[in-house]
A = this chain, B = another copy of it.
């Protein structure tokens, strides 16, 4: 397992400017060279400045949260469930975990409120849905899926999205549901400093036994963002994209840059039209279009190959597949 993890994450090493071999998982005899796994899953819990002195206990708690989500998604896929179900269940698990900036534990905006964004996309049909700037929905990823499946729209925002979710049977929660002491301190400390980055966005990309790809992303956005701000997470082509036969992408970072450069769609374009591997495409976009520190992406190809690429000091992440792979990473 150790060798595998080393190979899987050297892409990130190289991206970070650290010394290390330029090989990537696909180039070193991973699934591309052999039989593709029957299913595959990759997840993230945000990219950002993750202190090296985080402490063993906090590292363990983050790893535990990522492992739980990875197990939930792996079980769905192992049992023959759909990639959409796996993505939704992984993200619900991370939304419910107060350590990540999505659902419970979301950051505060400038007004001291929580406003959440999420989207999901079905690579088989290109069906997609999202919600933006919602404050009463416990699991925005499920609301995003309901937008996809039960409306003619792909994005609902604000109180309209909240009402829709309630009409669809999602029980509303109060703003206090999202409260965590840690995020409140960041809010108060950041008010004088003109705003800080959030970090901790969550996302998942999955390939199921039918060969269908799906992607999803959910976030509380940037700490002390302006009320009503919409980031890249709910926007198809910016923070989320999936297309069968090409790739599935979920991003995390400074959402404005992901929207400006259409990060998720650009990666899919480089793979689908340009013939790049998922690693090459992810690197070209994260290294070539995004500025240092702007974030990272997880990308899953139809062959089960996974790229984790980020230009921040760390990205909470994990990968699993039918071959028995089950890995968690935080730094390079």
Q: Hey, which bits of chain A sit against chain B, CB under 8 A?
A: 115, 126, 128, 132-133, 151-161, 163-164, 195, 225-231, 235-238, 256, 259-262, 265-266, 269, 273-274
Contacts and interface: CB of A to CB of B under 8 A. Distances in A.
A262 B260 contact: no
Nearest to A156: B228
Contacts of A154: 256, 259-260
Contacts of A238: 237
Contacts of A228: 156-161, 163-164
Number of copies: 2
B230 A259 contact: no
Given A154-B260, A160-B228, 18 more contacts: A133-B157, A151-B226, A152-B195, A153-B225, A155-B231, A156-B227, A159-B227, A160-B227, A163-B227, A163-B228, A164-B227, A164-B228, A230-B230, A236-B260, A237-B237, A262-B262, A265-B265, A269-B273
B151 A133 contact: no
20 contacts: A126-B261, A132-B157, A133-B160, A152-B195, A152-B256, A153-B225, A153-B226, A153-B230, A154-B259, A155-B230, A157-B158, A157-B228, A158-B228, A159-B227, A163-B228, A164-B227, A236-B260, A237-B265, A262-B262, A265-B266
Contacts of A159: 158, 227-228
**Residue among A159, A229, A260 with max Cβ neighbours from chain B (10 Å):** A229
A160 B229 contact: yes
Contacts of A265: 237, 262, 265-266
A226 B160 contact: yes
A296 to B, nearest CB: 19
A259 B115 CA distance: 22
A126 B256 CA distance: 11
**Residue among A133, A231, A261 with max Cβ neighbours from chain B (10 Å):** A133
Contacts of A273: 269, 273-274
A229 B133 CA distance: 12
A193 to B, nearest CB: 13
Contacts of A128: 259-260
